[in-house]
């Protein structure tokens, strides 16, 4: 079986990660493949269309009611018919007051939400509330200290943020999509106002938006994360059950280029699983994204150590799927939906955070649709594995006869292990010989280059010129000269 055919169920073209509208930003399966900006445009179009349809429906029903009222004046059952049409008109008037049909139906869930709040108030958890209060106070102080460095601009930002939180307090009865839209509008308005009015550089705008997101989402977390009005919890249980049912999937089936027998690689895998699980403990969308990014970087390091070369996108996605299957992160869908709804859209549309998050969404979508063809298995084997009748990890032991001695089984396992060690030893020796050959060639090359330079520029050594010293100087080198003439006295 070729590697190409093995990868056919997992390979995702990088162009498929981009927004399908062609704007160049990363798309998101939760947004039907659009980026945040394009999705909001499509959402507004759909909402305006729904509003128009609601008006047309209301006008049509009103005309029918007027026609029925006019015709009922001559009939015996006029009063009962008129009353029923009056009730229908009254209902339609209520429908026209809401912006969308979805908001109208979500109003019925307010009772359940209020009941849940009453129950929560009756049985509060002091430790959890105290911990949340401490964290909220800490984040508030950090936010105020951060804005002090911006003087007047910081005061304006703090004022807008407080007004937004007060507004969101009165919008808790709205659907989570509408609360998300309000938050995204707030992000966009604040960023545009800083860039146009405050003339704040884009780098500082990103830092300020990160602090704004941290502040408001820490305060709104308990209201907007996995709300009861959505089916997020249902999706969490479904994906958790799905991952448990796929416990038998091996790295070989996913073509995962990671060798966990290497201790360093095994440590990287454990760190990646820890990071993806730790995502659920964070309250800020940016912190959850940071966990995904750290997990992805550990995956790249594990692949690089195993293959001794940089990892590619075709290596990364199968390994990320394997990490999710092995870790089974808690409330996975809720965390993805929370990031999608309330994260600063600039982080999801571009950059490494957006790329890794898009890959995580693709991994979850692959797990939900995983079938026999994706793993290159027959439908019969896939059904047996899913039902728990057998497991690919047990096939090796099932090949043995029931009467086989345990010692013989252990002996063959040891022989297989020795064979693997022998292959690794041969590979190491081959690499060592190659390294030795490279060192010898490098040494010979350096020696040849030096010899060529010496031959091209020969070194000539000339004797030094000896300067003549004075006869009467006290020079040690002049000790071989004849002694000076002594005065002689002649007798006259």
Q: What pLDDT digit, counting tens, does each position of 351-405 carry?
A: 899 999 999 999 999 999 999 988 888 899 899 888 877 777 655 554 555 566 7
Rounded to an integer, the average pLDDT of 17-23 is 67
Q: Which pLDDT score is estimated for 103? A: 43
CA distance 355 to 225: 23
Q: Which pLDDT score is estimated for 367? A: 95
C-alpha radius of gyration, the chain, whole number: 39
Rounded to an integer, the average pLDDT of 319-339 is 95
Q: Which pLDDT score is estimated for 300? A: 95
Structure tokens at 68: 């029925």
Residue 345 pLDDT greater than 50, yes or no: yes
Residue 77 pLDDT greater than 70, yes or no: no
Proportion of the chain above pLDDT 70, given as a percent: 71
47: CB partners within 8 A, 6+ apart: 99, 100
Rounded to an integer, the average pLDDT of 443-462 is 86
In the 8-state DSSP scheme, what is residue 375? T
Q: Which pLDDT score is estimated for 244? A: 93
Whether the CB-CB separation of 298 and 272 falls below 8 Å is answered with: yes
Rounded to an integer, the average pLDDT of 170-182 is 91
Residue 119 pLDDT greater than 50, yes or no: no
Whether the CB-CB separation of 168 and 221 falls below 8 Å is answered with: no
In the 8-state DSSP scheme, what is residue 26? B
Task: Identify which has the larger pLDDT, 374 or 242.
Answer: 242
Q: Which pLDDT score is estimated for 123? A: 44
Q: Which of these ranges, 104-108, 276-280, 342-346, 382-386, has the smallest mean pLDDT?
A: 104-108
Distances in Å between the alpha carbon of 136 and those of 140, 216, 458?
6, 10, 79
Q: Which pLDDT score is estimated for 9? A: 46
Residue 106 pLDDT greater than 70, yes or no: no
Band of pLDDT at residue 126, cut at 50, 70 and 90 = low
Angle at CA 293, nearest 5°, toward 339 and 40? 30
325: CB partners within 8 A, 6+ apart: 243, 246, 247, 249, 367
204: CB partners within 8 A, 6+ apart: none
Whether the CB-CB separation of 288 and 335 falls below 8 Å is answered with: yes
Whether the CB-CB separation of 33 and 20 falls below 8 Å is answered with: yes
Task: Identify which has the larger pLDDT, 319 or 41.
Answer: 319
Residue 72 pLDDT greater than 80, yes or no: no
Tell me the average pLDDT of the chain: 79
Structure tokens at 161: 């943020």
Q: Which pLDDT score is estimated for 31? A: 58
3-state secondary structure of 400: coil
- Note the pLDDT tens digit of each residue in 454-463: 888 887 777 7
Band of pLDDT at residue 7, cut at 50, 70 and 90 = very low
Angle at CA 23, nearest 5°, toward 288 and 51? 85
Band of pLDDT at residue 110, cut at 50, 70 and 90 = very low
């Amino acid at each position: 079986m070729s590697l190409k055919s093995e990868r056919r169920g997992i390979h995702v073209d990088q162009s498929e990660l981009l927004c399908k509208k062609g704007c160049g930003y990363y798309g998101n399966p939760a947004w039907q493949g659009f980026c945040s900006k394009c999705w909001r445009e499509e959402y507004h179009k759909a909402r305006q269309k729904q509003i128009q349809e609601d008006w047309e429906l209301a006008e049509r029903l009103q005309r029918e009611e007027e026609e029925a009222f006019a015709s009922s004046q001559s009939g015996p059952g006029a009063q009962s018919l008129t009353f029923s049409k009056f009730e229908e008109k009254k209902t339609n008037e209520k429908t026209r007051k809401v912006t969308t049909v979805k908001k109208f139906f979500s109003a019925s869930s307010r009772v359940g939400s209020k009941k849940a709040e009453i129950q929560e108030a009756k049985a509060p958890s002091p430790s959890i509330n105290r911990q949340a209060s401490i964290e909220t106070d800490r984040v508030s102080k950090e936010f105020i200290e951060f804005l002090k460095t911006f003087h007047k601009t910081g005061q304006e930002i703090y004022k807008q943020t407080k007004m937004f939180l007060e507004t969101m307090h009165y919008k808790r009865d709205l659907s989570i999509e509408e609360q998300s839209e309000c938050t995204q509008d707030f992000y966009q308005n604040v960023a545009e106002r800083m860039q146009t009015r405050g003339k704040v550089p884009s780098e500082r705008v990103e830092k300020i938006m990160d602090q704004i997101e941290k502040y408001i989402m820490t305060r709104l977390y308990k209201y907007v994360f996995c709300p009861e009005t959505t089916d997020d919890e249902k999706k969490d249980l479904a994906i958790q059950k799905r991952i448990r049912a796929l416990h038998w999937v091996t790295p070989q089936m996913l073509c995962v280029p990671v060798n966990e027998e290497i201790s360093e690689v095994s440590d990287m895998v454990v760190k990646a699983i820890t990071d993806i699980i730790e995502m659920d403990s964070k309250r800020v969308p940016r912190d959850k994204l940071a966990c995904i990014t750290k997990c992805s970087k550990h995956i790249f390091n594990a692949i690089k150590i195993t293959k001794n070369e940089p990892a590619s996108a075709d290596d990364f996605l199968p390994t990320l799927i394997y990490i999710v299957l092995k870790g089974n992160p808690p409330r996975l869908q809720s965390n993805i939906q929370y990031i999608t709804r309330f994260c600063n859209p600039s982080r999801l549309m571009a950059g490494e955070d957006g790329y890794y998050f898009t890959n995580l969404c693709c991994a979850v979508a692959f797990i939900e649709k995983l079938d026999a063809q994706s793993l290159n298995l027959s439908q019969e084997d896939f059904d047996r594995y899913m039902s728990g009748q057998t497991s690919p990890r047990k096939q090796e032991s099932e090949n043995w006869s029931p009467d086989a001695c345990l010692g013989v089984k252990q002996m063959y396992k040891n022989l297989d292990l020795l064979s693997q060690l022998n292959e690794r030893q041969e590979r190491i020796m081959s690499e060592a010989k190659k390294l030795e050959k490279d060192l010898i060639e490098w040494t010979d090359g350096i020696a040849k280059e030096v010899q060529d330079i010496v031959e091209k520029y020969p070194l000539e050594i000339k004797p030094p010129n000896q300067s003549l010293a004075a006869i009467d100087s006290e020079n040690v080198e002049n000790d071989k000269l004849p002694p000076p003439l002594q005065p002689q006295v002649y007798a006259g």
